[in-house]
Amino acid sequence: MGEFRLIRLGEQFRSEIARMILSGEVKDPRVSTFLSVNRVEVSGDLAYAKVYVSSFMPDKRVESGVAGLQNAAGFIQSTLAKKLPIRQFPHLTFIADASVKEGFEMVHKLHKLEAEGG
């Protein structure tokens, strides 16, 4: 499958999963509306998709939310499969992504250094 189509499909997954989280369709109490889906990487054979999730909440809450999403992966897959017309639907794996939080902390440190130096 073409690289552009995989990227576009990943974006469709990302927006639909984010909408499901925000609307409360995922009923697991560990899944907070403060979780955000950063990106989705779909494998070339459409067998797997890695869903990267982050938040500014404490790391334990994010890990708990990711566990809740992984627990609801079957429900999320079946809901997405009804909306998106693809023949083979990938198995979703949810991964906690700390890159957004780390980037925010780095910018904060840079601002602090800038304020001390000038």
Structural domains of the chain, ranges and CATH numbers in brackets: 3-117 (3.30.300.20)
User: Residue 44: what are its φ and ψ, rounded to 5°?
Assistant: -60, -30
User: Residue 11: what are its φ and ψ, rounded to 5°?
Assistant: -65, -40
% the chain with pLDDT above 90: 70
pTM beyond 0.95:
no
| Residue range 75-104, pLDDT digits in tens | 999 999 999 888 889 999 999 998 878 888
CA distance 15 to 18: 5
CA distance 34 to 22: 8
Looking at every residue in the chain, the average pLDDT score rounds to: 91
Number of H helices, E strands in the chain: 4, 3
Beta bridge partners of 51: 40, 94
Provide the 3-class DSSP secondary structure of residue 13: helix
Average pLDDT over residues 41-55: 94
> Using an 8 Å Cβ cutoff, are 88 and 46 in contact?
yes
CA distance 46 to 31: 26
CA distance 16 to 103: 25
